[in-house]
Amino acid sequence: MAAERLTSILKHLTPGSALSNITSKNPDDIVITLAIRTPLAKARKGGFKDTSLEYLAYATLKEVRERSKLDPSLVEDIAMGNVSDGKSSYKLRAAALAAGFPNTAGAYTLNRFCSSGLKAVEDIANAISSGSIEVGIAMGAESMSAGGDALDKPFDEAVTAQSQESADCMQPMGWTSENVSRDFGITREEMDKYAAESFQRAERAQKAGLFDEEIVPIKTRVKDANGEWKEVTLTQDEGIRPGTTPESLAKIRVAFPQWGPTTTGGNASQVTDGAAAVLLMKRSTAVKLGQPILAKYVGATVAGLAPRIMGIGPSVAIPKLLGKYGLTLNDIDVIEINEAFASMAVYCRDKLNLDWSKMNPRGGAIALGHPLGATGARQIVTGLAECRKSGKKILLTSMCIGTGMGMAGLFVNEQ
């Protein structure tokens, strides 16, 4: 173990190498000085089932302000990923003002489906890098108790008749999971085995208290079975199922029999409420303000593919991102891939020949849940916490995106 650690350190320090380039420290680097998330709660029946999107955003932003001890007037913009709420920009602005950020700070939401939280980070980082702003908050929040990403009506046939791939953009996500398992020969047994490992890793991490560093407790209200309101404080993720095995998952009925026989409620991501946020600025600004530097943001990219197999998006986004920086997967220490479905997770792991021990070491969305707009930011929070705990350096995050895309982000732990 000591020899492996020494080899890793020397690899990062080799002058002129791709790794030394991304791990170098320069005043204009975009850095993360705070990374937090809420507990992830079961949608429609968990601790956030009666909590509004604006309250989730408010509570998260209040924690950012209080924990960073940063003068809130220095924050110039707040970007929030959100998928299912068409009024989310109104709600974020109200939440930011309520959380103690002055009206001089901008606020907006964005939607690139499951990558929205990462896209928010990329947007804020680019704004800082270009000189548009100096300090910004990137976050994601989703109340899947209040909504989801299902289409309420078909698209205009004058559009979809022009292209099969255009029409395929209407395919529900469960259908695309079955397409992946069928097209690439991924079996129900493989999917259940993968999902069980995700649950077991998350269970071990939760019992060891590893998530405690990531999670900020959130006080909210819940309506009980009698219609009475009670105040609660959420401190833990709710989706983890202790004792999960491939055998227990094999007993769960198929979720989408009309499309295929492999995807179930046990080997797909959970419907979840939650939020996550990161605070970003240049390294020189962090030093001047006395802010702790957790990590360096290196970059992110997006790649497209056929909508009907959108789940394999990470398999095209990851090589594209690594190629931009001259890196290989051997250079990556921790890989966080969103487990939208076990079908896509198994495919991406095997197609890219990923070291499974590096991939989602604390479990993923199958066990923890997938609050659509928040996941891209949540992965960064979890991945950096794992890097700090294990003494690892390079973090790669990635996710598939509905309608046929993948996104990936690259970070350097500095703690």
**Cβ within 8 Å of residue 146, ≥6 positions away:** 52, 53, 84, 85
> Residue 275 forms beta bridges with which residues?
141
Express each pLDDT in 149-160 by its tens digit. 789 899 999 999
Answer yes or no: are the C-beta atoms of 412 and 296 closer than 8 Å.
yes
Token output for 99: 């959380």
- Supply the pLDDT for residue 12: 55
What's the burial of 17, exposed, middle or buried (CB within 10 Å: 0-12/13-18/19+)? middle
Strands (E), 100-226: 106-110, 135-143, 218-223
- Give me the DSSP letters along 348-366: HHHHTT--TTTBSTT--HH
Centre a 10 Å sphere on the Cβ of residue 37 and count the other Cβ atoms it contains.
Answer: 30
Express each pLDDT in 385-401 by its tens digit. 999 999 999 999 999 99
Taking every pair of Cα atoms in the chain, the longest distance, rounded to a whole number of angstroms, is 66
- Supply the pLDDT for residue 16: 74
| Helix H or strand E segment including 57 | helix 53-68
- Supply the pLDDT for residue 13: 52
pLDDT in tens, the chain (415 residues): 455 555 555 555 565 799 999 999 999 999 999 999 999 999 999 999 999 999 999 999 999 999 999 999 999 999 999 999 999 999 999 999 999 999 999 999 999 999 999 999 999 999 999 999 999 999 999 999 998 778 989 999 999 999 999 999 999 999 999 999 999 999 999 999 999 999 999 999 999 999 999 999 999 999 999 999 999 999 999 999 999 999 999 999 999 999 999 999 999 999 999 999 999 999 999 999 999 999 999 999 999 999 999 999 999 999 999 999 999 999 999 999 999 999 999 999 999 999 999 999 999 999 999 999 999 999 999 999 999 999 999 999 999 999 999 999 999 999 9
Task: Of 265, 241, 236, 234, give the one whose Cα is nearest residue 48.
Answer: 234
- Supply the pLDDT for residue 11: 55
Distance (Å) of CA 161 to CA 158, 165, 213, 386, 402:
6, 10, 50, 47, 20
Phi, psi of 360 (to 5 degrees): 50, 60
Phi, psi of 355 (to 5 degrees): -75, 110
Centre a 10 Å sphere on the Cβ of residue 149 and count the other Cβ atoms it contains.
Answer: 16
Phi, psi of 75 (to 5 degrees): -75, 125
Q: What distance in Å separates the CA atoms of residue 17 and residue 104, rounded to the nearest whole number? A: 42
Buried b (16+ CB within 10 A) or exposed e, 159-181: ebeeeeeebbbebebbbbbbbbb
Angle between helices 375-390 and 116-130 (to 10 degrees): 80
Q: What distance in Å separates the CA atoms of residue 368 and residue 389, rounded to the nearest whole number? A: 19
Catalytic residue ranges: 114, 370, 400
- Supply the pLDDT for residue 150: 84
- Give me the DSSP letters along 99-131: TT--TTSEEEEE-BTBTHHHHHHHHHHHHHHHT
State the sign of the Cα–Cα–Cα–Cα dihedral 48, 51, 56, 58: negative
Answer yes or no: are the C-beta atoms of 376 and 397 closer than 8 Å.
yes
The residue behind tokens 């998006």 is 313
- Supply the pLDDT for residue 373: 98
- Supply the pLDDT for residue 5: 53
